Amino acid sequence: MAKGRVIVGGDHRGVDLKAKIVPWLRELGYEVEDIGTNTVEPAVDYPLYAFRVGEAVASGRAERGILICHSGNGIAIAANKVPGVRAAICMSVEHAEMARRHNDANVLVLGQDYIAPGSERAIVETWLTSLFDGGRHARRVNQIADYESKHAR
């Protein structure tokens, strides 16, 4: 039985890291959907992958999502346009833990070129296993969701 369903995507600048993460997730017991890209050709646009991952998470088709690109910035901005998505750029284990504990982040964003070599797996595992603290943090996450629902187009 799988631990949960994770959807993974990224642009051409995240291909190398995605190629490592997908097998790690399967090794850890997660059901993984890899939506690409699998090419380093720069003709790919990151918003497409951000929206597809975000929509899968927001709809419940996947419990969590992981997005990878060069810096993480653009793909995080795009993913956060999907109502219900809380995408967080995590560059360290501490970021990953806090993104889950305090923000209930449901999409992990990694900037392939900005993460310390060798820390990738620990960041992903920490993000997957850290639990949301709830309490005052739930109140804050709910304020974001309320704003989003009132102002979504």
Name the residue range of residue 51's domain. 5-151
Q: How far is CA 50 from the centre of its chain?
A: 9
- pLDDT number for residue 152: 76
CB atoms within 10 A of CB 120: 17
- pLDDT number for residue 42: 87
Q: Which pairing describes strands 31-34 and 87-89: parallel, antiparallel, or unpaired? A: unpaired
8 A C-beta contact, residue 17 and residue 72:
no
Report the alpha-carbon distance of residue 11 to residue 119 in Å, rounded.
20
Question: How many domains does the structure of the chain reveal?
Answer: 1
**Residue 61 scores a pLDDT above 90:** yes
Question: Alpha helices, DSSP H only, in 60-152?
Answer: 73-79, 93-101, 120-129, 136-151
Q: What is the model's pTM? A: 0.96
Q: How confident is the model at residue 22 (pLDDT cuts 50, 70, 90)?
A: very high
- pLDDT number for residue 153: 67
Mean pLDDT score, 64-82: 97
- pLDDT number for residue 145: 94
Mean pLDDT score, 38-61: 94
Question: Exposed e or buried b for every residue in 31-51, given b needs 16+ CB within 10 A?
Answer: ebbbbbbeeeeeebebeebbb
CATH number of the domain bearing residue 113: 3.40.1400.10
- Residues with catalytic roles: 69, 102
Mean pLDDT score, 110-136: 96
Considering the chain, what percentage of its residues have pLDDT values greater than 90?
A: 93
